[in-house]
Structure 1
Amino acid sequence: MNRLHENWASDPAYTEAYDSMADEFAVAHALIEARTRAGLSQAELAERMETSQSVIARMESGRHLPSTRSLQRYAHAVGARLNIALVPAA
Structure 2
Amino acid sequence: MTRIKELHADWMQDPAYREAYDALEEEFTLAQAIIEARIKAGLTQEELAARMQTSQSAIARLESGRTIPSARTLARFAKATGTRLRISFEVGPSSASV
Question: Unaligned 5+ residue runs, structure 2?
Answer: 94-98
The Cα offsets for residues 8-58 of structure 1, whole Å up to 9 and x where unpaired, read as 212211111110010001111111111111100001000111111110011
1:48-84: per-residue Cα shift (whole Å, max 9, x none)?
1111111001111123421111111111110111100
Identify the residue that residue 14 of structure 1 maps to in structure 2: 17
Q: Which has the higher contact order (CA 8 A, sep 6+)?
A: 1
Q: State the aligned residue count.
A: 90
Normalised to the residue count of structure 1, the TM-score between the two structures is 0.92
Q: Which runs of 5+ in 1 are unaligned?
A: none
Larger Rg belongs to: 2
Distance 1:84 1:18 in 2: 22
RMSD over aligned CA atoms reads 1.1
> % of aligned pairs identical?
56
Q: Give the TM-score, by structure 2 length.
A: 0.85
Partner of 1:84: 87
